Amino acid sequence: MEHDIGCKIKAARIEKKLTQEQVAELLGVSRQTISNWENEKSYPDIISVIKMSECYDVSLDYLLKGEQKMKSYYDYLEESTNVVKSNANRNKIITILSYLLIWAFAMIVFWFFTSGSDAMGYSLMFLWFILPISTFIVSIVIGKNNFWGKGKWAFTLFFGVMYMLAEYGTFKMANNIAFNKLNAPDLGMIVAGAIIAAIGMLVGSLWNKKRHNQKNK
């Protein structure tokens, strides 16, 4: 008796009297993809297997339980899961690095490419335009992709601190140098930055939720 997943999903589809075209439409893939799965030219991902178990009204245990031939599918699932995790981690790093690069670039431009009244004007543009928008957009990306799960909200503090450091490292530091005195950092900037980040993450999270609801319909 065959225990490979291709035979099982094909048998379950035929038992349910569904065509490959109908199943492809329900799963949001091409008919050729369904054919490839059933002929084991390629493997379905775990989400598709779950959807097929619901569509064919069979248990996951039935589809996934097997002997020797199933081992290659388990290896595939493990490998594809690792790839997804690796891609997610890479995207998280790219997202945060993008923000840090914008932050660092703006600081470098302020100190090395502006002077006098230009420096003050640039610092205002940086603090009230460039950095808040960057924070907002990056926070939306984090919320939309649900990076770090519930832990993502801790990043609101990170963005708040970076916003405060940006203000202290440009506008306030320029004042410190101009008047030869040391001003304390404005802790209120942490609150402002954190609020901007929180709004962005909330927008991203709602976007993510809406997208999932549309997929489940």
Instruction: Spell out the residues 6+ positions from residue 19 whose beta carbon is closer than 8 angstroms to its own.
Output: none
CA–CA distance, 155 with 198 (Å, rounded to integer): 9
Q: How do the domains of the chain map onto residue ranges?
A: 5-66, 90-216
pLDDT at position 70 is 58
How far is residue 48's CA from residue 39's CA, in Å, rounded to a whole number? Answer: 16
Q: What pLDDT does 126 receive? A: 83
CATH homologous superfamily for the domain 5-66: lambda repressor-like DNA-binding domains (1.10.260.40)
- Which tokens hold the place of 78? 């493990």
CA 23/CA 33 separation, integer angstroms: 10
| Residue 183: predicted pLDDT | 80
Predicted TM-score (pTM) of the model is 0.63
Per-block average pLDDT, block size 10, for the chain (217 residues)? 73 93 91 92 86 88 65 68 79 95 90 74 82 95 91 95 90 80 87 96 92 64
